[in-house]
Amino acid sequence: MEIIWQGIKQAIILIFTGNREVYEILFLTLRVSGSAVFFSMLLGIPVGVLVGLNKFPLKKFIIAVINTGMGLPPVAAGLIVILFIWRSGMLGFLKLMYTPTAMVIAQVLIASPIIAGITLAAVQQIDPKLKQQVLSLGANRFQVYWILIREARLPALAAVMAGFGGIISEVGAVIMVGGNIKGETRVLTTAIVQMVRMGNFDMAIALVVILLAITFGVNFLLTLIQQKEGIGWIRRF
Amino acid sequence: MSKFRFLKIFLIFMLSVLIIATSVFAFSCKDKVKNTEIILATTTSTYDSGLLDELIPVFEEETTYKVKPIAVGTGEAIAMGERGEADVILVHSREEEDRFVEEGYGTERRDVMHNDFVIIGPEDDPSDISGLTAVEAYITISVNEALFVSRGDDSGTNKKEIAIWEETGTTPQGDWYIESGQGMGETLRIADEKQAYTMTDRGTYLTQQNNLSLVVLVEGDEILFNPYGVIPVNPEKHKDIDINYEGAQAFVEFITGEKGQAIIKEFGVAEYGQPLFYPDVIK
Amino acid sequence: MDKKILEISDLKKKYNSKFCLDVNNLYAEKGKILTIIGPNGSGKSTLIRLINLLERPDEGKIYFNGHEITNGEVSQTEVRKKMAVVFQEPLLFNTSVYTNIIMGLKIRKIKLSGVKDRIDYFTGKLKITDLLNRSTKNLSGGEKQRVSLARALVLDPELLLLDEPLANIDQSSRESLRADLFGVLRGYGKSVVYITHDRNEAMVLADDIAVMDRGKILQFAGKEEIFRKPVNEFIARFVGVETLVDGVILERKGNVCKVGVTARKSNIEVSVVSQERRGTRVTLAIRPEDVILYSTEISSEESSAMNLFKGKITEIRDIGIFKRIEIDCGFPLSSFVTQNSVNRLKLALGKEITAAVKASSIHMFKR
């Protein structure tokens, strides 16, 4: 008990005195997971929409692949990435091992199927006749997709939240491909592991507090956006 | 355009976006310049002591190299060296190190530092092992079936522990013998929790002391000697991989050189009252 | 060609496992309302989708403003931009009412500033001005359909297609929506194709009517002609003919035929204005509005009708303003009378009554 209380006290001090190590870790985490969620959206949402709204051969198979990807254990994603980027791997020449880039790649691999899968499910809920209505209003192919994505914007946002949540709290893949190198590839989760291992509980708790604050903060913000029913907001569209 | 074809084209487009984006990201990192990066494979106990966090910045400042210390179990560190995934290894498992060089995976082994292992346990020492030799202590523990936590992870510490068991002529088995499968820090915590006996390197014990109720019961035995060796990975074995041999050598020179050795000698003294490691080159 | 905004020629399309749409010739004139009536499953919705190029026909051509739109060359999107469709379900987007209404304008890149008047006009006419800022989520079915209609109308399309817009609205809302919608359409002046299965809607709205069943057009003519001269029993029943009897033309004098009708006891002769030949087997269609009732024993001075049927009243049914009287005069004959007439003639079940029907009011078609 004493330790926990001590830890929390120290944590507050570390956070508010702008401890360099803590903030280094924080910003790296945001950079890595932020980029990862951005690219995952870029990849996941179009895939979810296209697969959901079109008929084509092997559609069921692709949906199964996406759903499997959603449940992919993060460490599996980490292993897959390592096999490509380590020195003896196909992409070894890129020297991506133990870099933030590798971490972004692994996180994209984890988050994209989540985003694609949820968007896909959301889009399939849309009344199929709505597409006809949109076409009859004179929309070309791209306008149709744009409008239908907007129609599914709330679940799509939920998809992004799920994807972000999945990667910011992930530890296994990110240690495998990043190496947890201080100042380079040490993010909140991996730093917490290291601090605990080294017995540095104050720091560990501080980092946990920050991690929780971020996760909660981001989710709170996105939830506000998702649930807001006000006139002003709707007018914006 | 049929729907299917559109889908394929779009997917390919998205994939290219992804690849281009990551490549741009990759190439924007300065260390992609050839040979600036040194991957150092070492053990978790070595890293967790915090020594490398002191040594590496000094080394980096003096040279243009960037060291990436990857802390894994001894077995994996050596395996990384064998695969050419590391440029230099720093471990504490003499037999394995020698084999590593013999088989040509490493060019040369050099002494860096040493410390020792200690057997720790609950303050009241129920099995009364205090002051015994390591082998005697193990026999006693085994006979009493006293709780003992092992690393169980193929690490240098673990290999030492197994070597001692071998000397006892018995194999530890049973509910009293717990294998944590984790790093030294975690193992110590488990032992503390269960008020069990365990063997640890002194360095980790010192850094974790404040969090533990366990005390040192057996020490000083020759068999508990724990030497660390540094070995550059042999580039000849990996013709198709870009091994930073120059960098590895520079690092070896540094930690066996005056400056590096001085840092090792001083490390931890202020905080723990005694050094965690004893340098081998200077005395 | 100039006057026809839409023309359909030899169009064929399989639309379910049983039936195929097969339209030889159908057209809509500019500025007029073409109503297509038919029961469910007759292929009406498929027809709308084909016109709007949402589906391709198996065979045949559709012309819009004189140009063929079913060949592969024309841009579907460009054609659709000249039309607007309202479906049975409102199919709105989950944003505000206002955003829904302007959605078509935004898609077609029509400047909002230029059509502000139009938007105000239609939202006013459809009585949804108060709803503009609300989300579409909690609107009633009727309100949603009003939004859908406004969305289509503000586009000022060259051709407006309405696929049973009132069918899914509940009874209570339907009356007022119908009134408002028809109020807009009647003064509209643009070309409309209106699909329904309700003959009353057709009656009120249409300039021209096409009757469909099982994929085929049974009759395509102006409103009057369809209602006065349905070409078969199906259409007759559909357009509200209550009395149908079979018979054979016994003789013809001039332009009046004497048709022998098989009645319960004996043959009854009915005079019908027609050019058909003797011996033709026919069905007579008598609208209940054309059957005038008198208390028994009237002379030929009192009524100029050539057909006087005597019979007993077998049923008196309330249908809104009118009462439907069914008389057994050898065959069942239906008449609509006002409450006033019921009182005046002292109509009651079992009462003997005379029904007069003009030879010119009876419509006859070949069996």
Domain boundaries of chain A, sorted by first residue = 28-202
Q: How far is CA C286 from CA B252, C283, C292, C312, C359, in A?
A: 113, 10, 11, 18, 10
CA atoms of C230 and C238, how far apart (whole Å):
9
pLDDT digit string, tens, across residues B215-236: 999 998 888 999 999 999 999 9
Q: Does C95 touch chain A (CB under 8 A)?
A: yes
Chains with 3 or more CB pairs under 8 A to chain C:
A
Instruction: Answer yes or no: do A198 and B50 touch at CB < 8 A.
Output: yes
Most confident of the ranges A208-212, B179-183, C146-150: C146-150
- Count how many pairs of residues, chain A against chain B, have C-beta atoms within 8 Å: 98
CA atoms of C91 and A127, how far apart (whole Å):
8
Q: How far is CA C180 from CA A125, C23, C136, C183, C185, in A?
A: 33, 32, 20, 5, 9
pLDDT digit string, tens, across residues B21-31: 666 655 555 44
Q: Does B252 touch chain A (CB under 8 A)?
A: no
Torsion over CA: B51, B54, B57, B58 (sign): negative
Residue of A nearest to C137 (CA): A229
Instruction: Answer yes or no: do C103 and A231 touch at CB < 8 A.
Output: no
Residue A2 has pLDDT above 80, yes or no: no
Question: Burial code of A31-40, b = ≥16 C-beta within 10 A, e = fewer?
Answer: ebbebbbebb
Tokens of A182: 């201080």
CA atoms of C29 and C236, how far apart (whole Å):
25
Residue of C nearest to A142 (CA): C107
Summarize the confidence of residues C245-270 as an average pLDDT: 84
Nearest Cα residue to C112 out of C121, C103, C124, C122: C103
Residue B42 has pLDDT above 60, yes or no: yes
Instruction: Answer yes or no: do C135 and A234 touch at CB < 8 A.
Output: yes
Average pLDDT, chain A: 87
- What is the reported pLDDT for C171? 85
CA A65 and chain centroid, separation: 19
Q: How many CA atoms lie within 13 A of B51 on its CB side?
A: 32
Summarize the confidence of residues C118-134 as an average pLDDT: 92
- What is the reported pLDDT for B139? 92
Chains with 3 or more CB pairs under 8 A to chain B:
A
Cα of C78 to nearest chain A Cα, Å: 7
In a mutational test of the B interface, the residue from A58, A95, A175 whose CB has the highest number of chain B CBs within 10 Å is A95
Residue of A nearest to C108 (CA): A138
Do at least 3 CB pairs under 8 Å connect B with C?
no
User: Which residues of chain C neighbour A130 with C-beta distances below 8 Å?
Assistant: 91, 93
Average pLDDT, chain B: 87
Question: Among partner residues C85, C87, C107, which is closest to A143 by beta-carbon distance?
Answer: C107
Cα of B65 to nearest chain A Cα, Å: 14
Specify which residues C299 forms β-bridges with. none
Least confidently predicted of A69-73, A160-164, C183-187: C183-187
In contact, B266 and B53? CB cutoff 8 Å: no
**Beta carbons within 10 angstroms of residue C267's beta carbon:** 13
CA atoms of A139 and C8, how far apart (whole Å):
24
Tokens of B166: 């071998």
Cβ burial, residue A99 (10 Å; 0-12/13-18/19+): buried
User: Which residues of chain B neighbour A78 with C-beta distances below 8 Å?
Assistant: none
Least confidently predicted of A228-237, B101-110, C169-178, C243-252: A228-237
CA atoms of B257 and C105, how far apart (whole Å):
78
Tell which wins on pLDDT, C227 or C324: C324
In contact, B32 and B78? CB cutoff 8 Å: no
Question: Among partner residues A55, A86, A100, which is closest to B85 by beta-carbon distance?
Answer: A86
pLDDT digit string, tens, across residues C21-45: 999 999 999 999 999 988 888 889 9
- What is the reported pLDDT for C301? 60
In a mutational test of the C interface, the residue from A137, A149, A233 whose CB has the highest number of chain C CBs within 10 Å is A137
In contact, B146 and B127? CB cutoff 8 Å: yes
Residue of A nearest to B81 (CA): A87
ipTM topping 0.85: no
Q: Does C87 touch chain A (CB under 8 A)?
A: yes
Nearest Cα residue to A48 out of A66, A73, A68, A72: A66
Question: Among partner residues A138, A150, A229, which is closest to C104 by beta-carbon distance?
Answer: A138
Share of chain A above pLDDT 90, in %: 48
Backbone φ, ψ for residue A139 (5° rounding): -80, 140
Share of chain B above pLDDT 70, in %: 89
- What is the reported pLDDT for B30? 47
- What is the reported pLDDT for C71? 85
Residue of A nearest to C82 (CA): A138
CA atoms of C79 and C66, how far apart (whole Å):
12
Chain A: which residues have CB within 8 Å of chain B? 3, 35, 39, 42-43, 46-47, 50-51, 54-57, 86-88, 92-101, 104-105, 108, 141, 179-182, 184, 194, 196-199, 201
Q: Report how far apart the first and last C-alpha atoms of chain A are (Å, whole number).
A: 51
Summarize the confidence of residues B192-211 as an average pLDDT: 89
**Beta carbons within 10 angstroms of residue C73's beta carbon:** 6
- What is the reported pLDDT for B34? 56
Residue C93 has pLDDT above 80, yes or no: yes
Residue C277 has pLDDT above 50, yes or no: yes
In contact, C103 and A135? CB cutoff 8 Å: no
- What is the reported pLDDT for C366? 78
DSSP assignment of chain A, as one string? -HHHHHHHHHHHHHHHTT-HHHHHHHHHHHHHHHHHHHHHHHHHHHHHHHHHH---TTHHHHHHHHHHHHT--HHHHHHHHHHHHSTTSTTGGG--TTSHHHHHHHHHHHHHHHHHHHHHHHHHTS-HHHHHHHHHTT--HHHHHHHHHHHTHHHHHHHHHHHHHHHHT--HHHHHHHTT-TTTT--HHHHHHHHHHTT-HHHHHHHHHHHHHHHHHHHHHHHHHHH---HHHHHT-
CA atoms of C184 and C122, how far apart (whole Å):
8
Instruction: Answer yes or no: do B3 and A54 touch at CB < 8 A.
Output: yes
DSSP assignment of B168-232, as one string? HT----STTEEE--S-HHHHHHHHHHHT-EEEEEHHHHHHHGGG---EEEE---GGGEEEEEEEE
- What is the reported pLDDT for B26? 55
- Count how many pairs of residues, chain A against chain C, have C-beta atoms within 8 Å: 63
Q: How far is CA B61 from CA A48, B187, C38, in A?
A: 49, 35, 88
DSSP assignment of B46-59, as one string? HHHTTHHHHHHHHH
Tokens of C4: 């026809």
Cα of C3 to nearest chain A Cα, Å: 24
Tell which wins on pLDDT, B22 or A201: A201
Tell which wins on pLDDT, B45 or C53: C53
Residue A113 has pLDDT above 90, yes or no: yes
Beta-sheet strands, E only, within chain B: 37-43, 66-72, 88-91, 110-121, 148-150, 177-179, 197-201, 215-218, 225-232, 278-279
Tokens of A155: 């679940």
- What is the reported pLDDT for B4? 59
Instruction: Answer yes or no: do A140 and C77 touch at CB < 8 A.
Output: yes
Average pLDDT, chain C: 88
Tell which wins on pLDDT, B32 or B110: B110
- What is the reported pLDDT for A232? 42
- What is the reported pLDDT for A101? 92
- What is the reported pLDDT for C300? 58
In a mutational test of the A interface, the residue from B1, B8, B9, B11 whose CB has the highest number of chain A CBs within 10 Å is B11
CATH 1.10.3720.10 correct for A28-202: yes
Instruction: Answer yes or no: do A137 and C95 touch at CB < 8 A.
Output: no
Question: Among partner residues A46, A98, A199, which is closest to B68 by beta-carbon distance?
Answer: A98
Tokens of B210: 């404040």
Least confidently predicted of A131-135, B35-39, C233-237: C233-237
User: Which residues of chain A neighbour B11 with C-beta distances below 8 Å?
Assistant: 47, 50
User: Which residues of chain A neighbour B22 with C-beta distances below 8 Å?
Assistant: 39, 101, 104-105
- What is the reported pLDDT for B14? 66
